[in-house]
Amino acid sequence: MRRLKLRYPRVWSFLAARFARDEYLGLPLTIGFLISALALWIFLGVTEDVLHNDPLTQFDLMLLDWLQAHHGAAGDQIFRAISALGSPLVLITLALGVAVFFLISKHRLLLEGWLLAFVGGALLNSILKNAIQRPRPHGASASLYHSWSFPSGHAMVSVIGYGMLAYILIILGPRSRRARLAIVGCATLLVLAIGFSRLYLGAHYFSDVVGGYAAGMLWLSACISGLEVTRRWRAT
């Protein structure tokens, strides 16, 4: 490592700056780029499988049939309630409520980033659905579901919405590592539960949910990275 540092000082300085915690173009941007790249790779891989009816789509059908065969009245009620937490009504209410808080507390940058995450995520989901145009599972009611199936809107927007909420709570809330891990853990469990509820209710295929998670994580990472870079740049 020392030889590399002495032989290529400029390259070493550039790489060191990318992993510096205090640099506004340092570690936060590097982590955001890596997460975005991984999410994009997953999304493109799942999309290719969906478009070409690769083995993943066969797994979609097997899992859908298995879940439909193990339905129960109690399970239906529970997962409908969980699914509602990822619905447009709940997420729009969340978006507006937090936006009002930012307006009152005069957190202008966070307000802009918050609204961009929600509006951009909804637009991106609509664009992807209309570009791919995958029909809903055969058991999904046409009267309940009016949009295309891939990627799952509930999965994608819940990643963005609850991911952004976790980020806001972390930067404005408690400083202890345990509390921050608890926030991230709760958000993760909620998003996973919402995704599973869509599978259980027969509204989406497994690949729809995975694609929604990947697309949501891509946009979430871009939004958080942009906010972190801007916050640190303004602080310098």
Q: Can you read off the two tokens belonging to residue 193?
A: 């539960």
End-to-end CA distance of the chain: 30
**Under 8 Å between Cβ of 132 and 149:** no
Residue-wise pLDDT tens for the chain (236 aa)? 556 555 555 544 545 554 555 655 556 677 878 889 999 999 999 999 999 988 899 999 999 999 988 888 888 899 999 999 999 999 999 999 999 999 999 899 999 999 999 999 999 999 999 999 999 888 666 546 678 899 999 999 999 999 999 999 998 987 888 999 999 999 999 999 999 999 999 899 999 999 999 999 999 999 998 888 887 766 65
Residue closest to 227 by CA, chosen among 103, 114, 100: 114
DSSP class of residue 141 equals -
Residue boundaries of the structural domains of the chain: 35-235
**Under 8 Å between Cβ of 106 and 213:** no
* Dist. CA 127–CA 65, nearest whole Å: 29
Question: pTM score, two decimals?
Answer: 0.86
* Dist. CA 88–CA 231, nearest whole Å: 29
DSSP class of residue 134 equals P
Amino acid type, 228: E
Describe the crossing of helices 177-200 and 206-235 by its angle, rounded to 10 degrees.
Answer: 150
**Under 8 Å between Cβ of 171 and 7:** no
Return the number of other C-beta atoms located less than 10 Å from residue 73's C-beta: 7
